[in-house]
């Protein structure tokens, strides 16, 4: 199958790096920023309260579920307003968020595997998150990055997978989608007609109600090994 794969779409969060430490750093850094620049906001919204406010804003704006950056900005604006802070500080606070959002700790295999995959096939990022590949420092490996924010609908909707295939100029069955989430990545891509690879980072058990992915690996280097293998001799 590997030699029928002409390109790869690649999830980012929890595929190239774990997101949980990033989320914790964002909360800590934003709170410290508010302590320095808007003490009223820091006092009114300590980390737990800010987290609850963010969930409330998400619930109030389901129409923006695909745009996590906008929801974060709306949360910051609400926190400033409700605490009596200066709403004009929202841009600077969001810049603090953006810096921390894109300060990632890669899985041990990710950078080597990513470089090898990029030499073997065209790569496209396909994410529901809001990581910026240039800010992270890996944009040179990718033909493009398509986010749910840009497309308007998140995975597992088939439209975002089809849009990525269209930008690659390939039919869905010629594209392998690689991601960590069984439903959002694997089942979503399979329903859209793509080949699928589950990269098992240990965060999810495979659901009993889903058929298996075409590929199951634990590292990107293992996927690169598979793609780089010589074709099997059908006569052997």
Question: Which architecture, in CATH terms, is 20-101?
Answer: Up-down Bundle (1.20)
Q: Are 200 and 218 in contact (CB under 8 A)?
A: yes
CA distances from 14 to 23, 44, 203, 214 (A): 12, 32, 8, 19
Which pTM was predicted?
Answer: 0.89
Residue 144 clears pLDDT 90, i.e. is over it: yes
pLDDT at 203: 87
Q: In the CATH scheme, what is the code of domain 2-17+106-228?
A: 3.40.50.1000
Domain positions in the chain: 2-17+106-228, 20-101
* Residues designated catalytic: 11
Give the pLDDT confidence of 36-64 residue by residue, as tens digits.
Answer: 999 999 999 999 999 999 999 999 999 99
């Amino acid at each position: 199958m590997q030699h029928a794969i002409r390109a790869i779409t690649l999830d980012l969060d929890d595929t190239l790096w774990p997101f949980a430490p990033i989320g914790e750093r964002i909360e800590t850094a934003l709170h410290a920023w508010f302590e320095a620049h808007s003490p009223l906001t820091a006092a009114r919204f300590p980390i737990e309260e800010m987290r609850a406010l963010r969930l409330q804003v998400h619930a109030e704006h389901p129409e923006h579920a695909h745009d996590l950056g906008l929801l974060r900005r709306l949360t910051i604006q609400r926190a400033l307003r409700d605490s009596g802070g200066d709403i004009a500080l929202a841009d600077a606070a969001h810049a603090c968020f953006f810096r921390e959002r894109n300060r990632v700790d890669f899985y041990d295999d990710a950078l080597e595997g990513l470089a090898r995959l990029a030499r073997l096939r065209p790569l496209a990022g396909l994410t529901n998150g809001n990581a910026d590949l240039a800010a992270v420092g890996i944009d040179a490996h990718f033909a493009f990055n398509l986010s749910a924010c840009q497309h308007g609908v998140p995975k597992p909707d088939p439209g975002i997978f089809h849009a990525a295939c269209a930008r690659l100029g390939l039919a869905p069955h010629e594209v392998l989608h690689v991601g960590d989430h069984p439903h959002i990545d694997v089942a979503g891509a399979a329903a859209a007609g793509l080949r699928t690879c589950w990269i098992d980072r240990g965060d999810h058990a495979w659901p009993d109600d889903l058929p298996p992915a075409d590929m199951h690996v634990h590292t990107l280097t293992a996927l690169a090994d598979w793609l780089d293998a010589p074709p099997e001799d059908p006569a052997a």
